[in-house]
Amino acid sequence: MNPSPIGIFDSGLGGLSVWKEVKKICPSESLIYYADSGNCPYGNRPAEEIIRLSAAITEFLLDKGCKLIVVACNTATSAAIQYLRAHFEVPFVGIEPALKPAATLTRTGHIGVLATRGTFAGEHYRRTREKFASDIAVHIQVGEGLVELVENHQTDTPEAEKLVRQYLEPMLEAKVDQIVLGCTHYPFLLPVMQKIAGERANILNPAPAVAQQVKRLLEKHKIAAPENSEAVYTFFSSGERAQLMEMVGRI
Ligand code: DGL
């Protein structure tokens, strides 16, 4: 048993989609969330820079006594998780596009993946695709501009709908019936995505599976908080604290 907090970080507010699921299935765990909104987006940054930023945040979270760290960012997982695991002793949970469930669920043999340029460029994505989706058609789309919409609380604007439509329609026309959200910011655009996709496609958010993995690792390492502990939720941002707290208030 270990009452220390779990650290969760992202390039910005997107990882709150993961935070919310961890909070739901690990209600006794205290959570420290770090939004690197001051450096957001990570998507087009070189891998070395993302490694440097992720290592600095990890050190910050370890200084706060975190017992496990969730890299709640596909782009940072892709660029930095190997480095983090090699340089820090604490267990890490990462996040990657949910190609496996999409490949299992598809009836048309076409799946869509929406992610950042950094995630698509990474070795991690290439290996996952080869392993789970080598025999199906994968339609990829860089979600340029979507992270900024979420960071600026513009998810229910006509601009958001226009951009999401521009990205999803070509996939839907290509008979995609599963759309994988390969960036933790994108679940905040789910209402507009569902409106556009309607019955044509199922949209896959990997955040609940990440939370399950957190629970499994807590049990495996015997570091879960005692049952019925009073969880404390703490938030840090390298950007505007008000922007972060507004989003926390919304979810
Ligand atoms: N939430 C991050 C991810 O999952 C966004 C990346 C970015 O900042 O561009 O990839």
pLDDT in tens, 65-81: 999 999 999 999 999 99
Closest CA to 17 of 240, 203, 242: 203
183 among known catalytic residues: yes
Mean pLDDT of 190-194: 96
Q: 145 phi and psi, to 5 degrees?
A: 90, -15
Residues 6 or more apart from 97 whose CB is under 8 A from it? 74, 113, 115, 119, 125, 128, 180, 181, 182, 206
Using alpha carbons only, what angle is made at residue 246 by residues 245 and 251, rounded to the nearest 5 degrees? 95
Residue 124 has pLDDT above 90, yes or no: no
pLDDT band, very low/low/confident/very high, at 123 (cuts 50, 70, 90) = confident
Residue 117 has pLDDT above 90, yes or no: yes
Contact call for residues 149 and 159 (beta carbons, < 8 A): yes
Report the alpha-carbon distance of residue 121 to residue 4 in Å, rounded: 35
DSSP 187: G
d(CA 58, CA 34): 10
Q: What is the pLDDT of residues 138-154, one digit of tens each?
A: 999 999 999 999 999 99
Q: How far is CA 241 from the centre of its chain?
A: 20
Q: Counting every residue, how long is the chain? A: 251
Distance of CA 1 to the CA centre of its chain: 27
Per-residue pLDDT at 33? 98
Mean pLDDT of the chain: 96
Residue 222 alpha carbon to ligand 1 centre in Å: 30
| Omega of the bond leading into 158 within 30 degrees of 0 (cis) | no
Answer yes or no: is the C-beta of 172 below 6 A from any ligand 1 atom.
no
Q: How far apart are CA 142 and CA 118, in angstroms?
A: 9
> Which residues does 155 contact at the CB level (< 8 Å), separation at least 6?
149, 188, 189, 191, 192
Q: Which atom of ligand 1 is nearest to the CA of 95?
A: 4
How high is the pLDDT of residue 151?
Answer: 93
Which of the following is catalytic: 26, 40, 66, 183? 183
pLDDT value at position 190? Answer: 96
Q: Measured from the CA of 15, which atom of ligand 1 is nearest?
A: 1
Q: What is the per-residue pLDDT across 196-219, written as a single tens digit (0 to 9) for each?
A: 999 999 999 999 999 999 999 999
CA separation for the pair 7, 2 (Å, rounded): 14
Banded pLDDT at 251 (limits 50, 70, 90): confident
Residue 95 · residue 210 · CB < 8 Å = yes
Residue 164 has pLDDT above 90, yes or no: yes
The number of helices, as runs of H, and strands, as runs of E, in the chain is 11, 9
Tell me if residue 66 is catalytic. Answer: no
* Residue 74 Cβ < 6 Å to ligand 1: yes
Ligand 1 pocket, residue 183 CB under 6 Å: yes
Q: How much distance in Å is there from the Cα of 230 to the middle of ligand 1? A: 31
Q: Is the pLDDT of residue 1 over 90?
A: no
From the CA of 239, how far away is ligand 1's center (Å)? 15
